[in-house]
Amino acid sequence: MADMASAKGLLNIPAKDNAAGARTNPGEQTSGPKNDVTEITETNQDYDGEEHEVVALLDHRMVEDGSVDLLVHWAGESAEQATWEPEREIQLGAADLLYNYWQNAGGRTEVLFHTPKDAPPEVYHVFKVLHHERQRPRGFEFQVQWVGYPASPADITVEPEPKLKKIAPTALTEYWNSLGGRNRFLKKKRNVKKL
């Protein structure tokens, strides 16, 4: 096994059915570094309240909606009992090691969209809205972090508000709510009476 980390970690993701039965959909694409394993050394506190120790990330697969699942080998279970877990959940609890998994595999974009013979169209999912700026006359623009990618300058993008309203309305609403609402950032119009 190449580049395997030495520590075990915890993820707050409930173990599902085994790899043969969890989130399996006909026509899903499965690919990945069969011999490269990345271990997780961080903890996810956001899911179900229980922590589950992870031995390693074993593989990945595309799901019909364009998202990615990762095959997680849980502590106390055999590798055959590994389960498929959503990439977003892995990123919530073990971001640095998820990024390391993709780096060891050859890069997320390359592995998912450029290398496979029947590569799917490039689909990206918003992980988090990071920051906004007022842009006239269009409203706001937002710095966006994507699922599977770090919040580094090379990986974040700037997206217009209408696009985020369409592709990630929940993430946009959560962002505004975390700041006390969108209206706080709108300039108030002055009431000027014409004589």
How do residues 123-139 score in pLDDT, each as one tens digit?
999 999 999 999 877 68
Helices (H), 106-168: 108-109, 161-167
Q: Is the model more confident about 103 or about 18? A: 103
Range among 42-56, 75-89, 143-157 with highest mean pLDDT value: 143-157
Mean pLDDT on 140-145 = 96
The residue that leads in pLDDT, 94 or 167, is 167
List, in order of start, the domains of the chain with CATH numbers.
9-114 (no CATH), 126-185 (2.40.50.40)
**3-class state of residue 69 by DSSP:** strand
Long-range pairs for 5-9: beta carbons < 8 A, 24 or more residues apart = 5/38, 5/39, 5/41, 5/97, 5/100, 6/39, 7/39, 7/41, 8/39, 8/40, 8/41, 8/53, 8/54, 8/55, 8/75, 9/39, 9/40, 9/41, 9/42, 9/43, 9/53, 9/54, 9/94, 9/97
Q: What is the pLDDT of residues 14-29, one digit of tens each?
A: 444 444 433 332 233 3
